[in-house]
Each structure stands twice: as C-alpha cells, then as structure tokens.
Amino acid sequence: MPVLLILLLLGTLTYLYWQRKTTTLTRDCRWRRNRSSDGWHCAYCGAVEAGEGAPVDCKRNQPRR
C-alpha cells in the first residue's frame, strides 16, 4: 500500500511539473477570438496574435504591435 501511495504522489508531481512547462500563460491572460481579423486579442493586456489556435505564450511583457 505505501508503494502505491508513493507512485501516486510521484505521478501527481510529475504531471504538475509537465503542465507548468507547456504554457507561459498567466492567470490574467484572456485570449478572445477576433473573427473580423482572423486572430486573437488578449482582453487583459491588449496583445494581438495571428493564427488558428489560441496562443500559449503570454505577450504581456512584449511591446504592443
């Protein structure tokens, strides 16, 4: 039983570490689809990003375009 709990704990910690590495979005990032220009607009900082899928990088510290 203790081995199962240790494996469960290690699996949970590994998942949390992996999840943290796959995105740089912050809590304030609110990407909204802008259908008129086929892009994305952040409702929080005003950043604009082109593309089909929602952005996974926070653009808050980058200069506005």
| Residue 50, token pair as written in the block | 């082109």
The pTM score is 0.49
What's residue 36's pLDDT?
82
Amino acid identity at 38: D
In the chain, what are the domain boundaries? Answer: 25-54
Q: Which long-range contacts (CB under 8 A, 24 or more apart) does 25-34 make?
A: 25/55, 25/56, 25/57, 25/58, 26/58, 26/60, 28/60, 29/58, 29/60, 31/55
pLDDT in tens, 8-64: 999 999 888 877 666 566 667 788 888 888 888 888 888 888 888 878 777 766 655
The Cα 59–Cα 5 span in angstroms is 39
What's residue 29's pLDDT?
78
What's residue 62's pLDDT?
60
